[in-house]
Amino acid sequence: MVRTDGRQPAEMRPVTLVTPCTKHAEGSCRIEVGDTVVLCTASVTDRVPPFLRDSGRGWVTAEYGMLPRSTSTRTDREAAKGKQSGRTLEIQRLIGRALRSVVDLTQIGDRTITIDCDVLQADGGTRTASITGGFVALAQALQWLKTERNAFPRIPLNDPVAAISVGVVQNQLLLDLNYAEDSDAMVDMNVVMTGRGCFVEVQGTAEAFPFTRQRLDDMLDLSAKAIQDLIAKQREALGGLV
Amino acid sequence: MVRTDGRQPAEMRPVTLVTPCTKHAEGSCRIEVGDTVVLCTASVTDRVPPFLRDSGRGWVTAEYGMLPRSTSTRTDREAAKGKQSGRTLEIQRLIGRALRSVVDLTQIGDRTITIDCDVLQADGGTRTASITGGFVALAQALQWLKTERNAFPRIPLNDPVAAISVGVVQNQLLLDLNYAEDSDAMVDMNVVMTGRGCFVEVQGTAEAFPFTRQRLDDMLDLSAKAIQDLIAKQREALGGLV
Amino acid sequence: MVRTDGRQPAEMRPVTLVTPCTKHAEGSCRIEVGDTVVLCTASVTDRVPPFLRDSGRGWVTAEYGMLPRSTSTRTDREAAKGKQSGRTLEIQRLIGRALRSVVDLTQIGDRTITIDCDVLQADGGTRTASITGGFVALAQALQWLKTERNAFPRIPLNDPVAAISVGVVQNQLLLDLNYAEDSDAMVDMNVVMTGRGCFVEVQGTAEAFPFTRQRLDDMLDLSAKAIQDLIAKQREALGGLV
Amino acid sequence: MVRTDGRQPAEMRPVTLVTPCTKHAEGSCRIEVGDTVVLCTASVTDRVPPFLRDSGRGWVTAEYGMLPRSTSTRTDREAAKGKQSGRTLEIQRLIGRALRSVVDLTQIGDRTITIDCDVLQADGGTRTASITGGFVALAQALQWLKTERNAFPRIPLNDPVAAISVGVVQNQLLLDLNYAEDSDAMVDMNVVMTGRGCFVEVQGTAEAFPFTRQRLDDMLDLSAKAIQDLIAKQREALGGLV
Amino acid sequence: MVRTDGRQPAEMRPVTLVTPCTKHAEGSCRIEVGDTVVLCTASVTDRVPPFLRDSGRGWVTAEYGMLPRSTSTRTDREAAKGKQSGRTLEIQRLIGRALRSVVDLTQIGDRTITIDCDVLQADGGTRTASITGGFVALAQALQWLKTERNAFPRIPLNDPVAAISVGVVQNQLLLDLNYAEDSDAMVDMNVVMTGRGCFVEVQGTAEAFPFTRQRLDDMLDLSAKAIQDLIAKQREALGGLV
Amino acid sequence: MVRTDGRQPAEMRPVTLVTPCTKHAEGSCRIEVGDTVVLCTASVTDRVPPFLRDSGRGWVTAEYGMLPRSTSTRTDREAAKGKQSGRTLEIQRLIGRALRSVVDLTQIGDRTITIDCDVLQADGGTRTASITGGFVALAQALQWLKTERNAFPRIPLNDPVAAISVGVVQNQLLLDLNYAEDSDAMVDMNVVMTGRGCFVEVQGTAEAFPFTRQRLDDMLDLSAKAIQDLIAKQREALGGLV
């Protein structure tokens, strides 16, 4: 099978990380994965959610949104509809969990770091791009806390974290699905992994065709390798910060 | 490690499936997994969502809710707060996807089957219990369509589907976590699988401690076996319907 | 006229009170009145609404909901629609007022007792069943406050309270209307009364046919007797607590 | 006991009905009951709610609102809060039921008549004033349908309908409670009655003090007389229309 | 061109200011401009919005609403729809800004004065009538603060403020457009001005036909004169208070 | 007075128009005015709002949003709050009116063109930048309709339209206020004008200091000149399309 954009089955799209990319945020990263473009910012505020009050722990959370015309046909604006869709809530919960998994929250103090991931242009893989780009913005915000606020002697990150999608299309394993491939996939999997090669999140879903254990193993193998490439790019973009 | 309820690490809680359990619904099942109790009903309506109009395909969807005092302290009623939480939306999307994966929607016609899963009492594992019990209600509703509506000559189910949780608590692999164990888990995984042993959904999440491939493999092995036990109970409850 | 379920005009449906019926709540009662089934729980929280702050008085309030398929055709979930209907709000205000009328709120202290009444299966009379079952859950929660919290030397209940419906169908007076009768009623009345035979709430509504004073008197007579039977069942369920 | 405004216990406040009172509506009435002022308008639209579609029957419904500073301290605007309170919904359901009880809906055709009752100044009894004034607006709108639309040869009203409150304050029976009396009442009752002396709605509520049957009978007697006075005023305002 | 109501192009409709016009509010004014009727009340509360806390400054704000049948066909109630329209929010922001421009907020202390402008009958120019009438209510509330609360030795108003609309209909300049004229206007302008003849707000909008600088100058000239007439009426209604 | 960024009082910030700037939209323009960056897209859909159905006229409308961290401190996401602010609604209504003023809607047919203006980075003047950039996106979408859909022989634009702000800071007239200047302004004015020098919208607001006619005239003069410069840039970006 030839992929629509000419890639090999195990080939990722070109990835660009531009950082910083906005003047106001404590950390920011514009990530491009093929035609998918996500603007990730990290904002530090000096308070924690109610359930952490007086706990001595800080918080890292994420919000996700798509510009109305980031998609091939216009999607109604969630602010105008008056609520965020289940998909949006599910994605931002995933991004938040993924990023929290590598931070030592006890070092953050009474602060919340909010990672906003806004999709400027969508072509599949926006949630994994948000995690990969969001990590870069997060690392910068932690660096800002270290240098501008003396919040800690070294930034409290245990490991980098990045994410990739993998799927089965027309019975073939493909890495990093674009939108057309994703719409066509029999199985769709998102893998979030750390620099040391441990899993943070594994979400595999059969779209109509349940999959075997062998297929699952192959998808995990393929994604593990790709994530190390992404982490190398994160390290480069962050100039040795992590 | 001794589990709080005396179980072995690889031991499920007692499971009861009561069906039918309500007079109005086309299908219904009350599932008890230890102290977790979920009331699942299947409702047939003669219309499909807009995106399926004129497609000739039917739809299966799910909704999930918890009674305010199904939990150990009272949870605010979502109807009173005016919106469903991200957790609720995420769970009901999962249940819907899981059940759709084993139904031949082209046989359903211009109909929607809505599976309502309402938690009467919660003690961990409500989403997996909802899938296991929801399948029973769904199968009955399909049987009702066959016998009462002559909708199809045989019910369009490819395979039974059931779900279980597995996790890592204090570094030990445990099957079917109760609420106390779940709150304490380093890793939490939900596995949805069919009677033929294929995966429908795999969702593993590290809570602060990323996990190795070996750990992931062990969790998948443990859950695969348990799911076949659940499917045997579903077959028994359905009296050979599937 | 023969009633659809063979009852005499002045005959109530069989009533069952199961208590306790859930493991988490401070009080609970599953009430069945014919095919109507309501799960009532009482939850104690250590705060009061803003308007009672620093008043030294506690509060008793109620919330009401119907499971989507408690009804003969599926009703949309209020949490999904994003608001509670006028009917729901009206019913839960009625339940709350009825239960408060027999409690000495000055004894409750800075606490709120919330009675959740969730209809598992509906066949008419859900609001009156909620009051009758809710009282049992409330009495238990007060007993819990007495024994587990030493909140007061004796539980601050002045009298039991219960409720019944009565109506006029095809010009005949009927007690305890089921759903079919209620849909057909010319007059529909809900009566809430205490063990000493005093009224707490009287709500009579003409559906298209205004009714005479004589009719009103007859309805009051009929309901008064039935409520004493319900209160006897409450006392029995509560084992002499009230 | 002397009443705060010097009235006798069985004495209503002065009632004024100004009709028509606005230039756009098909019917309108400004009702003043002491310091309570409600603006009632009737609007005719050429459609019915979904549940009446193709039924051949029309509909009469009501909406109720209070201007933010109709009350002694400012009440937040429901439009700004984004929802109507339970009290508002309960009142407008009551007004709608009361007015529908005297209309022959089969004569209305595919039309809805909406009665808007907006409280310009509140001093107790706004819901009963809304019914009394709303009937006048409704009768005019029906007259407009007859003369301007030839909708029917005679207006399809079976009887006038009006409403009054009665209550027990400091153990004394009082007619037509003002706000101060209402806040102090042990029992509060609203009675809706027709010109022929039949009941449309009876709502009696004990505020902390359950009441006897004798008390109930006295309240009904007192209100019946007052309502005939109100109906005489309605007839006068309508110039013999009913 | 003859205007539908016989006015000259530069002629305002008759204006009446009735004040006070309600018993509860600290200030109130019923303004009638032709068939447009707006009830304006001023309510004083002893708190300020969060952004002014501990600033020593008070606040003046406005809310605006239309009764459902103030318009020629019924408009849905914003409280029932669950949100205020963009038009409503825009108008109430305008009224608030206009009134704040003449108040010395540093004299108000920790208080908010809320001006509610509710349209009882609409025939064009409701936003400008709200400003003109709202100023009268505001001045009275300030007088109440001075005499009843000793809040300040003289009321902290720099100047009266009033507003008028002006527009171009069928290429002719018209003052104070009624609804029919407004619907037909090529240009629509609202001017808010002080007693000393300074501008507080100028909002001119081309409806399909962009307008020249000369046209703009003519509209400003015409409105300036009219506003001084309105301010004379405000002074008269306030009995020399400003 | 020296401006914070060294500009002369009558000097605009550098303006860049990048077009097209996104792959999916029928028209798009990224406008940068100093540090303010707005992404404008134009989306064509084949339907009109209800009030234009069967009118033969099309519609042009706008929506506006700010990314949460486009501002110097993070602003809550409107989608998460569940409603758009009054400011947002007011701005998008302004953009829509401004763009409609130069389009011949009778040529658009049963189509709606939605201009989405999303602020990626804010430093004052986002609404005027949205109009200027939105026009470019709109013109492209019309060109797309002409060439890809043969919707009309020439694009139905009467004139280009652009907008600029002007204000008074520390008593000095300044063109094109940045955020710091805007926060400090005594008077703030937005002017929308066409290529032929006619006004589409004039909105001048006194922030606490009412302004004279002379001041108003000076502001209009200053903005008129600047808008012609903006229109020259639009023409250049559009390559002679208008």
The backbone torsions φ and ψ at residue A25, rounded to the nearest 5 degrees and listed phi first, read -75, 155
**According to the model, what pLDDT value does residue F242 have?**
85
**According to the model, what pLDDT value does residue D242 have?**
85
Helix (H/G/I), strand (E/B), else coil: C102: coil
**Residues in CB range of A163: below 8 A, 6 or more apart:** A98, A127, A128, A129, A131, A132, A190, A191, A192, A193, A201, A227, A230
For the segment F10-24, the average pLDDT, to the nearest whole number, is: 97
Burial of residue D146 (number of CB atoms within 10 Å: 0-12, 13-18, 19+): middle
Lowest mean pLDDT among B187-191, C3-7, C102-106, D195-199: C3-7
- Please determine, for residue C1, whether its predicted confidence score (pLDDT) is greater than 80: no
**According to the model, what pLDDT value does residue B169 have?**
95
For the segment E183-208, the average pLDDT, to the nearest whole number, is: 95
CA of residue E46 relative to chain centroid, distance: 24
* A157 membership: H or E segment, kind and range: none
**Distance between CA atoms of residues A223 and A174, nearest Å:** 10
- Please determine, for residue C215, whether its predicted confidence score (pLDDT) is greater than 90: yes
Which of F110, F112, F109, F163 lies closest to F136, judged by CA? F163
Q: Rounded to a whole number, what is the distance in Å from the CA of E213 to chain D's nearest CA?
A: 38
Q: Which of B70, B74, B84 sits opposite C79 (nearest CB)?
A: B84
**Distance between CA atoms of residues F190 and F97, nearest Å:** 14
A121:F43 CB<8 A? no
Q: With beta carbons less than 8 A apart as the criterion, state whether B74 and B160 touch.
A: no
F84:A80 CB<8 A? yes
**According to the model, what pLDDT value does residue F240 have?**
84
Residue C36 pairs with which residues in a beta bridge? C33
∠F149-F154-F156 over CA atoms, to 5°?
95
**Distance between CA atoms of residues A114 and E84, nearest Å:** 30
Strand B112-121 vs strand B59-66: parallel, antiparallel, or unpaired?
parallel
Q: With beta carbons less than 8 A apart as the criterion, state whether D61 and D112 touch.
A: yes
Residue A211 pairs with which residues in a beta bridge? B199
**Distance between CA atoms of residues A237 and A136, nearest Å:** 8
**pLDDT tens digit string along D223-242?**
999 999 999 999 999 998 88
Provide, for chain C, the percentages of residues in helix, strand and coil under a 3-state DSSP scheme, each rounded to the nearest 5. 35, 30, 35
Residue F190 pairs with which residues in a beta bridge? F165, F203
Q: With beta carbons less than 8 A apart as the criterion, state whether C50 and C214 touch.
A: no
Which of D233, C205, B228, D34 lies closest to E23, judged by CA? D34
**Distance between CA atoms of residues F141 and C203, nearest Å:** 62
**Distance between CA atoms of residues C62 and C89, nearest Å:** 10
- The residue of A19, A74, A83 whose CB has the most chain F CBs within 10 angstroms, and thus the best one to mutate to test that interface, is A74
Q: With beta carbons less than 8 A apart as the criterion, state whether C138 and C104 touch.
A: no
Give chain F positions within 8 Å (CB) of A82. Answer: 82-83
**According to the model, what pLDDT value does residue C165 have?**
98
Residue B188 pairs with which residues in a beta bridge? B167, B205
**According to the model, what pLDDT value does residue D232 have?**
97
**pLDDT tens digit string along E77-93?**
999 999 999 999 999 99
Give chain E positions within 8 Å (CB) of F61. Answer: none
DSSP letter for E101, please. T
For the segment C6-27, the average pLDDT, to the nearest whole number, is: 97
- Whose tokens are 């005679």? That residue is D154
Which of F156, F172, F175 lies closest to F225, judged by CA? F175
DSSP F122-188: -SS-HHHHHHHHHHHHHHHHHHHHHHHH---SS--BSS-EEEEEEEEETTEEEES--HHHHHH-SEE
Q: With beta carbons less than 8 A apart as the criterion, state whether B95 and B42 touch.
A: no
* Residues belonging to chain B with any Cβ–Cβ distance to chain C shorter than 8 Å: 22-25, 28, 35, 39, 41, 43, 45, 63, 65, 67-74, 77-80, 82-84, 88, 114, 116, 118, 120-121
For the segment B205-229, the average pLDDT, to the nearest whole number, is: 94
Which of A113, A111, A104, A101 lies closest to A58, judged by CA? A111
**Distance between CA atoms of residues D43 and D140, nearest Å:** 10
Mean pLDDT of chain F: 96
- Tell me the C-alpha to C-alpha distance, in Å, between residue D167 and each of C10, C25, D172: 31, 37, 8
C210:D220 CB<8 A? no
DSSP letter for C180, please. H
User: Which tokens is E81 given?
Assistant: 């729809």
Which of F3, F67, F1 lies closest to F37, judged by CA? F67
E67:D118 CB<8 A? yes
Give chain C positions within 8 Å (CB) of D205. Answer: 97, 200-201
- Tell me the C-alpha to C-alpha distance, in Å, between residue A194 and each of A159, A223, B214, D140, F116: 6, 12, 15, 75, 37
∠A96-A99-A104 over CA atoms, to 5°?
115
Q: Rounded to a whole number, what is the distance in Å from the CA of E197 to chain D's nearest CA?
A: 32
Q: What is the pTM of this model?
A: 0.93
Strand intervals (E) in F13-158: 15-18, 27-33, 36-45, 59-66, 112-121
Q: Which chains touch C (3 or more CB pairs under 8 A)?
A: B, D
For the segment C224-237, the average pLDDT, to the nearest whole number, is: 97
Residue F42 pairs with which residues in a beta bridge? F27, F115
Q: Which of F194, F204, F224 sits opposite E210 (nearest CB)?
A: F194
Label residue D26 by pLDDT band (50, 70, 90): very high
The answer to whether the complex's ipTM is over 0.90 is yes
- Please determine, for residue D93, whether its predicted confidence score (pLDDT) is greater than 70: yes
**pLDDT tens digit string along E1-60?**
679 899 999 999 999 999 999 999 999 999 999 999 999 999 999 999 999 998 989 999
The backbone torsions φ and ψ at residue E118, rounded to the nearest 5 degrees and listed phi first, read -115, 125
Q: With beta carbons less than 8 A apart as the criterion, state whether A227 and A180 touch.
A: no
Q: With beta carbons less than 8 A apart as the criterion, state whether F120 and F67 touch.
A: yes
Q: With beta carbons less than 8 A apart as the criterion, state whether D17 and D133 touch.
A: yes
- Please determine, for residue E208, whether its predicted confidence score (pLDDT) is greater than 80: no
∠F227-F233-F238 over CA atoms, to 5°?
125
* Average pLDDT for runs of 10 along chain A of length 242: 88 97 97 98 96 94 98 96 94 97 96 98 98 98 97 96 97 96 95 97 92 96 96 96 86
**% of chain B at pLDDT higher than 90:** 95
**Distance between CA atoms of residues E148 and E239, nearest Å:** 18
* D19 membership: H or E segment, kind and range: none
Q: Rounded to a whole number, what is the distance in Å from the CA of C193 to chain D's nearest CA?
A: 8
What's the count of helices (H) and strands (E) in chain A, helices before strands?
5, 9
∠A131-B186-A152 over CA atoms, to 5°?
60
**pLDDT tens digit string along B111-163?**
999 999 999 999 999 999 999 999 999 999 999 999 999 999 999 999 999 99
Label residue B1 by pLDDT band (50, 70, 90): low
Which of D81, B91, A131, A89 lies closest to F77, judged by CA? A89
The backbone torsions φ and ψ at residue B25, rounded to the nearest 5 degrees and listed phi first, read -75, 155
Helix (H/G/I), strand (E/B), else coil: E103: strand
**Distance between CA atoms of residues A62 and A118, nearest Å:** 11
**Distance between CA atoms of residues E229 and C27, nearest Å:** 70
Mean pLDDT of chain E: 96
**pLDDT tens digit string along D43-83?**
999 999 999 999 989 999 999 999 999 999 999 999 999 99
**Distance between CA atoms of residues C167 and C161, nearest Å:** 20
Q: Which amino acid is it at C163? A: A
Label residue F1 by pLDDT band (50, 70, 90): low
**pLDDT tens digit string along A106-120?**
999 999 999 999 999
- The residue of C161, C200, C209 whose CB has the most chain D CBs within 10 angstroms, and thus the best one to mutate to test that interface, is C200
For the segment B37-63, the average pLDDT, to the nearest whole number, is: 96
∠D102-D107-D110 over CA atoms, to 5°?
115
DSSP letter for C106, please. G
Mean pLDDT of chain D: 96
Q: With beta carbons less than 8 A apart as the criterion, state whether F195 and F160 touch.
A: yes
Higher pLDDT, A21 or E242: A21
Lowest mean pLDDT among A63-72, B204-213, C170-179: B204-213
User: Which tokens is D81 given?
Assistant: 């809060």
DSSP letter for F20, please. S
Helices (H), C40-125: 78-81, 86-100
